[in-house]
Amino acid sequence: MKRRLSWLAMLATSCLLQNCGIICGGSYYNAHVVVKDYPQAAISYEGQLRGYGTTSIRVKRSYANRFSVTIAEKGCDHK
């Protein structure tokens, strides 16, 4: 009986805490930007160069779904 109560308690706890990652994630998000096949592409965010080819950008979690970066490669005129 005691074992069943332990299992029931663990099950209830896991169901209640399954979204804990969102709560404990903090107010910032680390966005990873990868420009496949272009390791020399310059990656800019808010007018500042952040890296070439691959970089991480820390943004407020409230902007995580609506921020943009600029990617440019020397000699390429496309925008």
pLDDT in tens, the chain (79 residues): 778 788 777 777 766 665 555 556 678 888 899 998 888 999 999 999 999 999 999 988 887 788 888 888 876 655 5
Give one DSSP letter per residue of 7-44, joined into a string: HHHHHHHHHHTTTHHHHSS-SEEEEEEE-TT-TT-EEE
Q: Give pLDDT, residue 62.
A: 81
Q: Output the CA torsion 66→74→77→64 (10° steps).
A: 0
pTM over 0.75: no
Please check whether residue 25 is in contact with residue 59, taking contact to mean a CB–CB distance below 8 angstroms.
Answer: no
Q: What are the structural domain ranges in the chain?
A: 2-72
